[in-house]
Amino acid sequence: MLSQEEKEEISAEIARYERKSAACIDALRIVQAHRGWVSDENLSDIAAFLGMSPADVDGVATFYNRIFRQPVGRRVLFVCDSVSCWVMGCSRVKTRLRNQLGVDLGQTTSDGLFTILPIACLGHCEAAPVLLVHGAGIEEPVTDVTEESLSELIARLREEDLQQESDLRSAS
Residue range(s) defining the domain that contains residue 8: 4-63
Does residue 15 form part of some domain?
Answer: yes
3-state secondary structure of 117: strand
CB distance 130 to 48 below 8 Å: no
- Is residue 172's pLDDT more than 80? no
Confidence at residue 1, expressed as pLDDT on a 0 to 100 scale: 93
Residues 34 and 90 in one domain: no
Answer yes or no: is 134 within a domain. Answer: yes
The burial of 89, by beta-carbon neighbours within 10 Å (0-12 exposed, 13-18 middle, 19 or more buried), is given as middle
Position 57 scores a pLDDT of: 98
The secondary structure element, H or E, covering residue 39 is: none
Same domain, 16 and 89: no
Residues 24 and 59 in one domain: yes
CATH number at residue 29: 1.10.10.1590
Please report the pLDDT score of residue 135 as a whole number: 85
Residue 78: band (very low, low, confident or very high) from pLDDT cuts 50, 70, 90 = very high
Name the nearest CA neighbour of 150 among 159, 158, 142: 142
Residues 48 and 54: their CA atoms lie apart, in Å, by: 8
118 with 162, same domain? Answer: yes
**CA–CA separation, 152 and 67 (whole Å):** 27
Q: What phi and psi values does residue 69 have, to the nearest 5 degrees?
A: -100, 5
- Residues 48 and 115 occupy one common structural domain: no
pLDDT single digits (tens) 91-138? 999 999 999 999 999 999 999 999 999 998 899 999 999 999 998 778
**pLDDT at site 165:** 79
Q: What is the mean pLDDT of residues 56-74?
A: 94
How many structural domains does the chain have? 2
